């Protein structure tokens, strides 16, 4: 280990907290470091979330469409029979 005089203490603290220190000086040590990191890497988990789809607007939409279907012809009929008076 090449470095500052406090490097061994720092490495000890890293290991105390569950970490790891990789002294990479050549390609083989770099490959071993990558392998160790890959082994410790977190694994993705898919969580299934089921949401209940409740369309609360459909009744209001049906009512509005019904009023439009009835209201527009009734308005035209009223205009025909009674006309408009300003």
pLDDT in single tens digits along all 86 residues of the chain: 556 777 888 888 988 988 888 888 899 999 999 998 888 877 777 878 887 777 778 888 999 999 999 999 998 888 888 876 65
pLDDT of amino acid 71: 93
pLDDT of amino acid 53: 78
pLDDT of amino acid 3: 64
- Note the helical H segments in 1-86: 7-16, 27-40, 58-82
pLDDT of amino acid 70: 95
User: CA dihedral defined by 26, 28, 33, 37, rounded to 10 degrees?
Assistant: 140
């Amino acid at each position: 280990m090449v470095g500052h005089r406090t490097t061994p203490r720092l490495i000890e603290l890293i290991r105390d907290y569950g970490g790891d220190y990789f002294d990479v000086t050549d390609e083989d040590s770099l490959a071993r470091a990558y392998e160790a990191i890959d082994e410790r890497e977190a694994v993705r988990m898919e969580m299934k979330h089921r949401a209940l789809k409740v369309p609360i607007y459909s009744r209001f939409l049906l009512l509005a469409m019904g009023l439009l279907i009835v209201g527009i012809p009734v308005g035209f009929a009223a205009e025909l029979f009674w006309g408009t008076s300003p």
